[in-house]
Amino acid sequence: MKIKWALLTILFTIATVLTGCDNPLMVLDPKGPVAATQADVIMISIWTMAFVVLVVMVLYIFMIMKYRASKQRDDYEPPHIEGSKVLEIIWVAIPILIVAFLSVVTVKTTNEVEATPKGYGDQEPLIIYASSSNWKWHFSYPEEDIETVNYLFLPTNRPIEFKLYSFGPISSFWIPQLGGQKYAMSDMVNTLHLAADVPGEYMGRNSNFSGSGFAQQTFNVNVLSAEEYDKWVDEIKATAKPITEEKFNELLKPGHVGQSTYTGTHLEFSPAPEGENAGHDHGSSNTEEHDSKDSHEEHSEHSNMNHDH
């Protein structure tokens, strides 16, 4: 009787939760090849785990029903059993096979999503530098020579290559319907490959806690056809004001701002931490100064040694 009520309670809970889901989960509603690959992996994992849980529950119910005390004689004594090598091999081998299967799927798909999306290898990617600060997103389009704050416009059917970094704490760049998250950190650039197949409006956000204002560190993603995207770029170049170093430094101050658009990019006066700007020594001047300082210290140390000698 208790088992019956437990099962009814579980079924009622599941039904109640599902009735509240008017819209599908965004990660299971992909609008691009990368997101579709990741959605497939999620579903494979869910069905694998569901199969394991179902088998365990069926065996559990079978055991307690078949071997419950009320079915045995009053003088029943269970036999002494040393063990079964066959059973031990089975219950060790099955988890190993499950983990191996999921590992192969994960490694294979991880390699896929870390490269240019399938079907787009012969196209030149649109490179966008996505940098975070407390608590906003800055998107630089070097090819178009424009910059946006807290919103993105993307063309369909073209590979997108995001260059991620941060002007503050570690943030996580995530557009659930286009692909998985990836970290944006200071002093280095991470690359994220995405593509969009379906025009529409999607949500992007920082999925890594980075302080009191992180919950509002979101951005809108507008995916347009190639023709509409080109029209948007032309309109921005004709109407937006240029980004200045003074304005950019103002935007970097902690706080929330709305959406804004500029011609030019902050990369001209505040380049991304890649190439000669990577690491903690940004630019050749700092490197030369550092080398000069080391040379001076080495010369001083050599002179002191000669003097002591």
Looking at residue 147, which CATH number applies to its domain?
2.60.40.420
| pLDDT tens, residue by residue, 246-298 | 999 999 999 999 999 999 999 999 999 998 888 754 434 443 444 444 444 44
Tokens representing 287 are 């490197």
Task: Please tell me which residue, 43 or 3, carries the higher pLDDT value.
Answer: 43
Domain with 217, as residue range(s), is: 126-277
Is the same domain home to 101 and 164?
A: no
Query: Of 29-38, 48-57, 180-189, 295-304, which gets the smallest average pLDDT?
Result: 295-304
Task: Tell me whether residue 225 is in a domain.
Answer: yes
pLDDT tens digits, residue range 147-175?
999 999 999 999 999 999 999 999 999 99
Do residues 101 and 159 share a domain? no
Residue 309 lies in a domain: no
- My answer on whether 161 and 243 are in the same domain is yes
Residue 142 lies in a domain: yes
Percent with pLDDT over 70 in the chain:
82
Residue 3 has pLDDT above 70, yes or no: no
Examine the domain organization and report whether 130 and 108 are in the same domain: no
143 is a domain residue = yes
Distance CA 229, CA 120 (A): 18
Do 133 and 257 belong to one domain? Answer: yes
Question: Do 42 and 138 lie in a common domain?
Answer: no
Work out how many domains the chain is built from and give that number.
2
Q: Is residue 267 part of a domain?
A: yes
Residue 272 and residue 135 share a domain: yes
Residue 66 lies in a domain: yes
* Mean pLDDT calculated for residue range 59-68: 87
Residue 65 shares a structural domain with residue 133: no
Asked whether 26 and 177 are in contact (CB, 8 A), the reply is: yes
The more confident residue out of 11 and 98 is: 98
Query: Does residue 198 sit within a domain?
Result: yes
Q: Token match 């300082």: residue?
A: 293
- CA atoms within 13 Å, Cβ hemisphere of 279: 7
- Same domain (yes/no): 39, 160: no
Angle formed by the axes of helices 85-113 and 33-66, nearest 10°: 160
Q: How far apart are CA 54 and CA 105, in angstroms?
A: 22
Residues 216 and 183 in one domain: yes
Same domain, 167 and 108: no
Q: What is the mean pLDDT of residues 28-41?
A: 95
Do the bridges between strand 182-184 and strand 126-133 make them parallel or antiparallel, or are there none, so unpaired?
A: unpaired
Of the chain, the percentage scoring pLDDT greater than 90 comes to: 69
Please indicate, yes or no, whether residues 49 and 143 belong to a single structural domain of this protein: no
Residue 266 in any domain: the answer is: yes
